[in-house]
Chains A and B, each alone.
Chain A
Amino acid sequence: MPIEYKKKVVVMKDVVSVEDAEQLLEWLQGKSAIRVDMAACTHVHPANLQVLMAAGIKVSEWPADPDLGSWIASALTSAK
Chain B
Amino acid sequence: MNELLEQFLAESREALQGIGERLMDLENAPQDQELMTQLFRLVHTLKGNSGLFDFPDMTRVLHAGEDLMDAVRNGKVVYSRTLADRLLDAMDFVSTLCDDIEQGRPTDSGASRQAVVLAKALRELLSEAQAPSPEPVAAAAAATPEPAAAQSSAASATSAASSARTAAAGTSLPADLAQRIPEAVRLDAWKQSHEGAQLWWVSYKPTEECFFQGEDPLHQARRTPGALWGGMVARTEWPKLAELDAYRCMLDFDVLASGPREAIEEHYRYVPEQIDVQAVNPASLAVPQGDPNGGPVYEDFVGDALELLDKGDLKGLKRAVSSMLELSNSKLWLSSALRWMGLVLSTTTPSTSMLRALIVSLRTLTPPVFDAEEEAVEVVSPSPAVEVAAKSATEVAGAPVVDASRLEALEAVLTVQREILALPDDAPWIAGRLKGVTSALTGCLRAMGAASELASLQAASEQSVQSKSASPLKNWLMDRSAESIANAATAAPKVTSAVAPAATVATAVAAPVAARAPAPTPAPAPAPAPVKAAATAAAPSEPAPRAEAAAPQDAEVADGEVRMNRRADDTSSAKTLKVDQSKVDRLMNLIGEMVVAKNAIPFLANRAETVFGMRELAREIKMQYAVINRITDEMQDAIMQVRMLPVSFVFQRFPRLVRDISRRLGKEVNLVLEGQDTAADKNIIESLADPLIHIIRNSLDHGLEMPEVRQASGKPAMGSLRIQARQDSDRVLIEISDDGRGIDPEVIKHKAYQKKLIDEATLDRISDQDAINLVFAPGFSTAEVVSDLSGRGVGMDVVRSTIERVNGSITLESKKGQGTRITLSLPLSMAVTNVMMVASDSQLFGVPLELVTETVRVPVKNVRSIKQRQAVVLRGRVVPLISLNSLLHIAAPPVINDDDEYAVLLVRIGEESVGLLVDEFHGTADIILKPLAGMLGRLHCYAGSALLGDGSVLMVLNLKEVL
Chain A interface residues (CB < 8 Å from chain B): 18, 21-22, 24-25, 28-29, 43-51, 53-55, 67-68, 70-71, 73-75
Contacts and interface: CB of A to CB of B under 8 A. Distances in A.
A54 B231 contact: no
B222 A29 contact: no
A25 B250 CA distance: 15
Contact of B230 (A43, A55, A71): A71
B246 A24 contact: yes
Given A25-B241, A46-B249, A54-B244, 10 more contacts: A43-B219, A47-B246, A49-B218, A50-B238, A50-B246, A51-B241, A54-B238, A71-B232, A73-B231, A74-B230
Given A46-B232, A49-B232, A71-B231, A21 B246 contact: yes
30 contacts: A24-B246, A25-B246, A29-B242, A43-B222, A46-B216, A46-B217, A46-B232, A46-B251, A47-B211, A47-B246, A47-B247, A49-B232, A50-B244, A50-B249, A50-B251, A51-B246, A53-B238, A67-B222, A68-B222, A70-B182, A70-B185, A70-B231, A71-B218, A71-B221, A71-B222, A71-B231, A74-B180, A74-B232, A75-B231, A75-B233
A67 to B, nearest CB: 7
B218 A44 contact: yes
B246 A75 contact: no
B229 interface: yes
Nearest to B251: A46
A24 B182 CA distance: 30
Q: B217, B232, B239 — which one has the most chain A CB atoms within 10 A of its CB?
A: B232
Contacts of A49: 218, 232, 251
A18 B234 contact: no
Nearest to A47: B246
Contacts of A45: 211, 216, 218-219
Contacts of B233: 74-75
Contact of A48 (B222, B238, B242, B246): B246
Contacts of A25: 241, 244, 246
Contacts of B185: 70
B180 A22 contact: no
Question: Which of B182, B185, B247, B249 has the largest count of A CB atoms less than 10 A from its CB?
Answer: B247
A64 to B, nearest CB: 15
Interface in B172-222: 180, 182, 185, 211, 216-219, 221-222
Contacts of B247: 18, 21-22, 47
A22 B211 CA distance: 13
A63 to B, nearest CB: 12
A43 B216 CA distance: 11
A43 B230 CA distance: 14
B246 A70 contact: no
Interface residues of B, number: 26
B246 A22 contact: yes
A53 to B, nearest CB: 6
Contacts of A70: 182, 185, 229-231
Contacts of B250: 50
Interface in B117-149: none
A62 B182 CA distance: 16
Contact of B241 (A18, A21, A29): A29
- Which 9 A-B residue pairings sit nearest by Cβ, starting from the closest? A74-B231, A54-B238, A21-B246, A46-B218, A54-B244, A25-B246, A47-B246, A51-B246, A55-B241
Q: Which of A44, A46, A71, A74 has the most CB of B within 10 A?
A: A46
Interface string B229-268: 1111110001101101011011100000000000000000
Contacts of A75: 231-233, 251
A8 B241 CA distance: 17
Contacts of A18: 211, 216, 247
A50 B185 CA distance: 25
A51 to B, nearest CB: 5
A8 B647 CA distance: 76
A57 B216 CA distance: 21
A40 to B, nearest CB: 17
B732 to A, nearest CB: 58
Nearest to B182: A70
Nearest to A22: B246
A25 to B, nearest CB: 5
A26 to B, nearest CB: 10
A75 to B, nearest CB: 5
B226 to A, nearest CB: 13
Nearest to B217: A46
A54 B218 contact: no
A73 B250 CA distance: 17
A48 B231 CA distance: 16
Contacts of B239: 54
Nearest to B220: A46
A71 B233 CA distance: 10
Contacts of A24: 246
B482 to A, nearest CB: 47
B234 A53 contact: yes
B56 to A, nearest CB: 22
A79 to B, nearest CB: 18
A48 B63 CA distance: 33
Residue picked from B180, B231, B241, B249, most chain A C-beta under 10 Å? B241
Contacts of B231: 70-71, 73-75
A44 B222 CA distance: 11
A29 B241 CA distance: 7
A71 B217 CA distance: 12
A59 to B, nearest CB: 14
